[in-house]
């Protein structure tokens, strides 16, 4: 059993908890950046014995795109819209924290029921990715500020990336890079739309986006 891998995975999930628990947008983005950097290290630990060139490429690209460029871009976005904190989330902090705790427990139980066809280096990888996905969902649903929703989407993606690490050797490089790039552009487009929102509505509260309904 790979203790270091376990430690990193636990840390990644705990950082997810911190993101869920914080209301300051700057803090959220910083923690997200740390989380992404750690995630980028996971492939190196997992495939330490038989490193291949394109695994290195994919992890490096992930580290640079998510860990460095994305936080930089998000900081640019919050400077632009001059919003610092999430004042009144839909789901309160305590409830979100408890729900994420529940998500961790349930994803571990779920993952223990699903038998992975081949042996993998850590049995914590799948449950951690599930719990990150659920935490991303919680942020997307529970927050009102558009930027926190973007961070939620990114956390969700981090969870998916964590799952994808399992399949790094099975997926062609082209596809892997395409997906990485796609997700990255998606987040950038979201950031740009956030700026449009703030220009048009003078704030980025998505509760203001409620004119279209039946």
Partner 1 sequence: MLIFLLFFPLVTGGLVFVLREQESRNRMLLFTALLHSACVFSFWKFTPAVSLNGFLGLDALGLLVLSVISILFLMVSFYLMGYFKGESDISHRIFITFLLFFLSFMTLVTLSRHFGLLLIGIEATTLCSVPLINFVKTRQSIEATWKFLTICLVGIALALLGTYFLAVSGIDNVQSLFIDKLLDHAKELSLPWLKMSVIFLLIGCGTKMGLAPMHTWLPDAHSQAPSPVSALLSGCLLNCAFLSILRVGQVCHAAGQTQFFSSMFILLGIISLGVAYVFILGQEDYKRLFAYSSVEHMGILAIGIGLGGIGIYGALLHMINNAFTKGIAFLVTGNLYKQYHSKKASEVRGVLRSYPITGIFLLAAFLAVSAVPPFGTFISELMILYAAVAGHHYWVVFFYSLFLALIFMGIADIVLKMTNSYESPARGPQGCPMNATVSQPPKESLSMVLPILFLIVLVLILGVYIPPFLDDILQKAAGLLGGGR
Partner 2 sequence: MHILLLLHLTILFVFPPLLLGIIGKTKAFFAGRIGPPLLQPYFDIFKLMHKESVYSVTTNWIFMAAPMVSTAAILAAGTLMPLADFKPPIQFWGDMVLFVYLFALARFVIVLAALDTGSSLEGMGASREATFGCLSEITMFLNLTILALLSRSLSLSEIFLGGLSSSWLQVGPVLILVVVSFFLILLVENSRVPIDDPETHLELTMIHEVIVLDHSGIDLAYVLYGKAVKLFLFASMLVSVIITFRVHDFLIDTAFFFFELIVFAVLIGIVESTMARLRLNKVPYLLFSAFIFSIFGFTVILVRGGH
Residue 45 beta carbon to partner 1: minimum distance, rounded to whole angstroms: 20
Give the separation between CA 204 and CA 196, rounded to whole angstroms: 9
Binding flags for partner 1, 149-188, as an x/- string (CB under 8 A): x---x--xx--x--xx-xx--xxx-xxx-xx--xx-xx--
User: Residue 50, interface with partner 1 (CB under 8 A)?
Assistant: no
Report d(CA 70, CA 58) in Å as an integer. Answer: 16
What is the sign of the dihedral through the CA atoms of 146, 147, 152 and 158? Answer: positive
- C-beta separation of 160 from 133 below 8 A: yes
Which H or E run contains 119? none
**Closest-CA residue to 180 (of 29, 43, 49):** 43
Measured in residues, the chain has a length of 214
1 makes contact with partner 1 (CB under 8 A): no
- In the region spanning residues 109 to 128, those forming contacts with partner 1, defined by CB under 8 A, are 114-118
Least distance to partner 1, CB of residue 48, Å: 20
User: Interface with partner 1 by CB under 8 A: which residues?
Assistant: 114-118, 133, 137, 140, 146, 149, 153, 156-157, 160, 163-164, 166-167, 170-172, 174-176, 178-179, 182-183, 185-186, 189-190, 193, 196-197, 200-201, 206, 209-212, 214
């Amino acid at each position: 059993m790979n203790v270091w891998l376990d430690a990193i995975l636990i840390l990644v999930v705990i950082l997810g908890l911190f993101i869920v628990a914080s209301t300051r947008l700057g803090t959220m983005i910083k923690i997200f950046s740390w989380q992404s950097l750690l995630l980028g290290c996971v492939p190196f630990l997992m495939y330490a014995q038989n490193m291949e060139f394109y695994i290195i490429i994919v992890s490096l690209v992930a580290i640079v795109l998510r860990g460095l460029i994305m936080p930089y871009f998000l900081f640019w976005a919050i400077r632009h819209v001059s919003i610092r904190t999430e004042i009144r989330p839909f789901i309160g902090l305590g409830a979100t924290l408890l729900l994420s705790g529940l998500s961790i427990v349930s994803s571990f139980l779920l993952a223990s029921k699903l038998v992975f066809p081949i042996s993998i280096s850590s049995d914590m990888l799948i449950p951690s990715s599930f719990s990150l996905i659920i935490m991303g969902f919680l942020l997307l649903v529970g927050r009102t500020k558009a930027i926190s929703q973007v961070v939620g989407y990114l956390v969700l993606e981090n969870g998916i990336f964590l799952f994808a690490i399992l399949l790094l050797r099975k997926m062609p490089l082209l596809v892997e890079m395409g997906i990485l790039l796609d997700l990255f552009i998606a987040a950038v487009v979201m950031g740009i739309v956030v700026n449009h929102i703030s220009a048009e509505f003078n704030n980025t509260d998505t509760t203001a986006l409620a004119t279209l309904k039946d």
